[in-house]
Structure 1
Amino acid sequence: MANGEDLLWDAVDKGMAFAPRLRRTAVTAGCAGLFVLVLWAYTDAVWAAWTIAAYVLVEIAYRVWDRQRLVEVDLVVSEADGLVRLRLRRAGGRTTEHDPQHVARVLIIRDNVVDSAKLRLRLKGKAALFGRAGRLPAVTAWRKACPRAHVQDRNAWWGMPGVPD
């Protein structure tokens, strides 16, 4: 079925880009903190402090979720037993291997504006896995690799403003 390695999904951005996100969070929290200090002198600004705390928590939650997103999906032959395996590499660096027969659903969402796509992958008995934006993959390669999976592709539900769909 597979000779060597077959790349099924390849994200455009594979890095974590930790420094720019940390800088953005620090600048936003600092500006909001300065805003709270200015307001605190004239009124009760507890709501602003809670807003800053909520923003920082949302940024942390987004980073945790983003580390779990898929950046590469390869079809590889296992060296130990010679079976074909699906290797999933996440943005955080973690790599797992799964049996292609355990893939329940593959959804590829094509972007209407730029030439890219997003991946939704569901393994049997597990939560859905999300892929970062990547190049448009071949749907037939997914169908060959995961014969029991429901493989589907569709356009995104939104379009470019001012351009009829």
Structure 2
Amino acid sequence: MVISEDLLWDTADKGTPTVQRLLRTAVTAGCAALFVLALWAYSDATWAACAAAAYVLAEIAYRVWDQRRLVEVRIVVGEADGRAKLRLRQAGGRTTEHDPHQVARVLIIRDNVVDSAKLRLRLHGKRVLFGRPGRPPAVTTWRRTCPRAHIRERNAWWGMPGVPD
């Protein structure tokens, strides 16, 4: 097991783009409101109001999901017993520490177009933790750190844009 403090997963965007999301939601809601007002006089436009409400609810659900995504996975040495632990930091600021033997599966999905990857991490008896896109990590470090985990990497399923297959 690796004892030194290594960085297993790191993303460039660790913050939450709150202003951008709120601006996008406000512009979309405003355009939908103008569309509803323009059509309301001539026909029944309740479907447009329902679509705008569904969009706002979907944006809220995405924000809640995005706050739980991993932005950093680091190997740290525990203070009490000196054993290595995985420190998982989420986008919302929550940090948890887990034993590396609790990791059941690690899937790294490499992007075909740009030099980035996505992470899916499953702990024993828990849900899947998703990582924000980041630089592709070294798989050998994951294998040394989590010896019981099923570690796999694959390329994304889409091809290069604009290049015929």
Assess same fold via TM > 0.5.
yes
Correspondence for 1:123: 123
In angstroms, what is the RMSD of aligned CA positions?
1.1
* Cα pair 2:108 2:153 within 8 Å, conserved: yes
TM-score calculated relative to the size of structure 1 = 0.96
Matches within 5 A, 1:16-165: 16-163=16-163
Task: Give structure 1 regions of 4+ aligned residues with deviation exceeding 4 angstroms.
Answer: none
Q: Say which SS state the counterpart of residue 113 (structure 1) adopts.
A: coil
* Cα pair 1:2 1:77 within 8 Å, conserved: no
Q: CA deviation at 1:164?
A: 5.6
User: Does the C-alpha gap of structure 1 residues 147 and 164 become closer, same or farther in structure 2, counting only changes over 3 Å?
Assistant: farther
Q: CA deviation at 1:79?
A: 1.1
Amino acid in the other structure paired with 2:15: G
Give distance in 2, aligned partners of 1:141 and 1:2.
8
TM-score calculated relative to the size of structure 2 = 0.96
Q: CA deviation at 1:41?
A: 1.2
Amino acid in the other structure paired with 1:150: H
Give distance in 1, aligned partners of 2:114 and 2:61.
27
Amino acid in the other structure paired with 2:129: L
* Cα pair 2:3 2:84 within 8 Å, conserved: no
Unpaired segments ≥5 residues, structure 2:
none
Q: Say which SS state the counterpart of residue 8 (structure 1) adopts.
A: strand
Give distance in 2, aligned partners of 1:163 and 1:129.
33
Q: Give deviations 1:121-142, integer Å, cap 9, x for gaps.
A: 0001011010000001000000
Amino acid in the other structure paired with 2:60: I
Give distance in 1, aligned partners of 2:69 and 2:111.
18
State the identity as a percent: 75
